[in-house]
Amino acid sequence: MSLDSHSLCPCGSGKEIRFCCPDMLKEYQQLESQLSGGQFAAALSTVERLEKDHPNNAALISAKCLIFRETGRFDEFIVQAESFYRANPDKLKAIAEYVIARTIGGEVNEALSVLIDGIEKNEPGKIDGSLLFPLLMIAQQLLEQGNVYTAVALAKLSQSFNPKSRESAALLTQIYRRKDIPLIEKELTFDPAAPDDFPFRDKYQDAAVRLATGHWKEAKALLEELLPCAGQWPNLYRSLGLVNFWLGDTAAAAEAMKSFADSAKVSFDDAVDALTAAMLTRRQMSDDLDVVKIVYAIPHPDKALEIFLSTPRLLSMPFDSHMYGDAERPAPSHAFRAIDRPFPAKDEPLTLENTPLLLGTFLFFGKQTDRDARIEIQVFGRNKEAFQAFLSETLGEELGPEIETSVLAKIPWLFKKLEPDFQIKAEAALSPDTAEKLYRDYFEKVFAEEWLNHPNDHLDGKTPLAYAETPKSAPVLAALIQTVAFQTDPRFADGLARVLRERLGVSQPETIVPPAGDDSDVLAFFQRIPIWRWGRADVTNLSASAAGQLLRVASLFGEDETMSRLSDRILSLPAGEADGESRYMAYDVRISKAQVTEGPARALELIAEAKQAARDAGISDGSLSLREAAIQLTLGRADEFQRLIGYVAREHRNEPDVMAELQMMLIDLGLINPDGTPRMAPGAPAPAEPAPSAGETKLWTPDSDAPSSGGSKLWTPD
C-alpha cells in the first residue's frame, strides 16, 4: 500500500504521518518507490541527501540499513545498525536492525535477548511488524546451531503473529520433517492453566499469556516469584525450565527440569520426559572423538599405487578431482577406503562377525613440482594405531616418514556409534531381511554393550551399569535410554531400548490403554498424552473413525511407529468402516514402510491394492501412480515408467496437486527444467532463470511477503 498522510509514520513513532512528519511525506513516498523498485543506489542517494536536514530521522536510518543489507554491504550495515541502536535503544526499528546485525555477526544469543526486550515493549499478543523478520532470522540460525526448543518457539510465535506468513510455515515444515530431531524437542509445551485449587492461579495465567506471546523474560520473573508454591504444583518447574530453554539458559533449564522430576507428585513418565528434555540439549559431550589427519611421504609412488590397487582391504573410491584441487594445491589422483577385515565370500551370509567396517580413508597425491608424493589420511583417533599398523604391513618400505599429524574435527562418540560404517559390496545379495538383522544385531549386541560400559556425562562420568547401583536411578536411566532411542533409527530403537532396560533393571514402559467410551472420549484421552507416547497405545479396539483422526494428527508430526500401528488398524477393518481418505493415508504409510523393510515388489502389491481402494472411494489415484512409476524406474522398467507418466498426464491433468508432483518428479530426474520446458541438449544455450512460482518460499528475503504488484520494504509499521 502506498504511503499517504494517514499512514503510520515510517520513523516508528506510532503516529500517522500527518501528526508526525507531515513535511516529509513526498520524500517518504519517493524513497518508498525507489526501494520497492529495487533502485538501491538511487535510494541511498535520496537518504544521504535527506539526512543533511534530518540527521537523526529513524526512517532514513532504517532505510539505509535495508539498502546496505540488500546490496551485500554487511560491514557497513553492522556499523550503521549498532550506531542506530545505541542512539535509540527504545525504538523498535533500531532494535530490529540491531538484532539482524548481531545475528549476521554470529552473536545469536545477544540478538535473542534484545529481540525479547523489543517484543516486551508491545502489549502481549501484539508485535511491531519490524520485529517479524529478525524473529524468523534468529529462529533459522538457532535451528542450524541445534537449539531446537527456541527455534520452534520462535517459529510458532511468528506464525501466531502472522498466520499467513509463508516463511514461518516453511520453517515449521522444515523442522517437523527432520527425522533427526526428536519430537519431544518440537512439542514440549507448558501448562496453559494451573489447577483450580492452586491459590495463585490468576498469577500463573498471567505468566502463561506472556509465555505464549513472546514476553519470555517477564514470564520467567513471574514463574520465579511463584516457585515457593511449587510444592503444591511442581509443574511450575517445568514451565520455568521451558522458558529457560527458550532464553538459551540451558543450565538453569536443566536444573528446573530436574527439580520437577524429583517431586513425589510427578508421574514416572512425566519425570522421564523432563529429564530427557534436559539431556537432549547437551549432545556435545566430553567423550567427543578426534578426526585425525596424518600425512605420510611416499618415496616410490608408482610402486605404492600398484600395491594400493591390488590390496583387497583397500577400496578405490570414485571421486571428482576438481572438488579437491585448485591452482595452488593440485588434486589427488586416487582416493581409498580401508576396511578392517576382508569381504566375505560372495555366497556367504553377512553377519556381525564377517561384515567389514570402515577403518579410515586417504587421498593419494603423486609427485608434484614442489612436493614429493604423499598420502593424506583421515581416521578416527581410536582407529589411528590400527590404521597405521595396516599401512605399515601393507606398504613395508614403501611407506615413507610421517610428515604431519593434526586434529581436523571432533565427532560425538554417540553419533559415531549410532551410524556403523558397514562396508558391503554393491554386488552382494543383501535382502531387506538380512540387512535388518545385521543392523539389529549391531544395536542390540555391539552398541548396547559398548554404551552400557561407556562413561556418560549425564551420569556424572559413571557408566550406565555403574550408575544403576545408585538409589533412585530409574528415572534418570529411563530418560537416558529414551534419549538414545530418540536418536536411533526408528526400525531399531524399540529393540535397543528394550535390551538396555533389561540390562539396567529399568521397567519397560507400560502399554497405554484408551478408554472404552465413544470416539470423543478416546480422542480427548489421546489429546492429554504427549504424542511421542502414542506409539505405546493399544489401538486394537479403536474405531475406524478414531483411528483415522489420530492418523491424521500423527502424520502431521511424522510419528512413524504410531502411524504404522494406526494404519494397520484401519486396514484390518472392513473397507466400508473407514472413510476413503483414512484408508488412502493408511495405505500410503504401509507402502512407505514396505519400500524400506520389504522391498519394491511388496510395495507394488500394496500400491495396486491402494489404487483399487482409491477408485472405490472416488479418490484420485494420481499420486499412487507416480509412486508406482518411481519404483518401476528404480527396477529399470522404463516402459512401465513411461506408461504410468503418460497415464497421469492424460487422466489427471486437471488436478493441480498431482500435476505439481509430476513436474517435481521430472525435474528431479533431470527430464525438464524448473519452468517446465524440456531439458536442453548438451551445449545448447541455457534457458533464462525462471521467476519464482507462487508456491516458492524464501526464508530470508525481507520483502517476501510483499504483493506481486510491488510494495514497501520499509514502511510496514504493523
* CATH number of the 188-261 domain: 1.25.40
Answer yes or no: is pLDDT of 304 > 90.
yes
Nearest 10 degrees: Cα torsion 357, 360, 365, 367: -110
Q: What pLDDT, on the 0 to 100 scale, is given for residue 26? A: 74
Give residue 305's pLDDT band: very low, low, confident or very high (50, 70, 90). very high
The stretch 427-435 carries a mean pLDDT of 74
Q: Does the pLDDT at position 440 exceed 50?
A: yes
Question: Minimum mean pLDDT among 101-105, 284-288, 655-659: which range?
Answer: 284-288
Q: In the prediction, which pLDDT does 285 show?
A: 63
Phi, psi at 670, each rounded to 5°: 80, 20
Lowest mean pLDDT among 88-102, 662-676, 684-698: 684-698
Q: In sequence order, what are the residues at sequence separation of 6 or more whose Cβ sits closer than 8 angstroms to the Cβ of residue 551?
A: 563, 566, 567, 570, 582, 585, 586, 589
Residue 464: pLDDT band (50, 70, 90) is very high
Report, as an integer, the average pLDDT of 525-545: 94
Q: Is residue 714 scored above 80 in pLDDT?
A: no
- Beta-carbon contacts of 640 under 8 Å, excluding residues fewer than 6 positions away, are 629, 632
Q: How confident is the model at residue 716 (pLDDT cuts 50, 70, 90)?
A: very low
Rounded-to-integer distance, Cα 47 and Cα 135, Å: 26
pLDDT value for 431: 76
Given a cut of 50, whether residue 593 has pLDDT beyond it is yes
Burial tier of 452 (Cβ tally within 10 Å: 0-12, 13-18, 19+)? middle
On the question of a common fold for 17-185 and 188-261, the answer reads: yes
Averaged pLDDT, 285-290: 80
Helix residue ranges per DSSP H, 351-489: 384-395, 413-417, 432-441, 448-452, 464-467, 474-486
Is pLDDT of 443 > 60? yes
pLDDT at 436: 87
* Better-scored residue on pLDDT, 618 or 236: 236
pLDDT-derived band of residue 717, with 50, 70 and 90 as boundaries?
A: very low
Q: Please determine, for residue 690, whether its predicted confidence score (pLDDT) is greater than 70.
A: no
Domain boundaries, the chain: 17-185, 188-261, 289-411, 432-504, 510-619, 620-672
pTM: 0.81
pLDDT of residue 284: 54
Mean pLDDT of 409-432: 84
Q: Is the pLDDT of residue 498 over 60?
A: yes
pLDDT at 511 over 70: yes
Please provide the average confidence, as pLDDT, over all residues in the chain. Answer: 87
CATH topology of domain 17-185: 1.25.40
> Model confidence over 374-397: pLDDT tens digits?
999 999 999 999 999 999 999 999
Beta strand extents in 65-202 (DSSP E only): none
Query: Which range among 368-372, 484-488, 697-701 shows the weakest confidence by mean pLDDT?
Result: 697-701
Q: Would you say residue 468 has pLDDT above 90?
A: yes
Q: How far apart are CA 538 and CA 177, in angstroms?
A: 26
Confidence of residue 104 (pLDDT cuts 50, 70, 90): very high
Q: According to the model, what pLDDT value does residue 700 have? A: 27
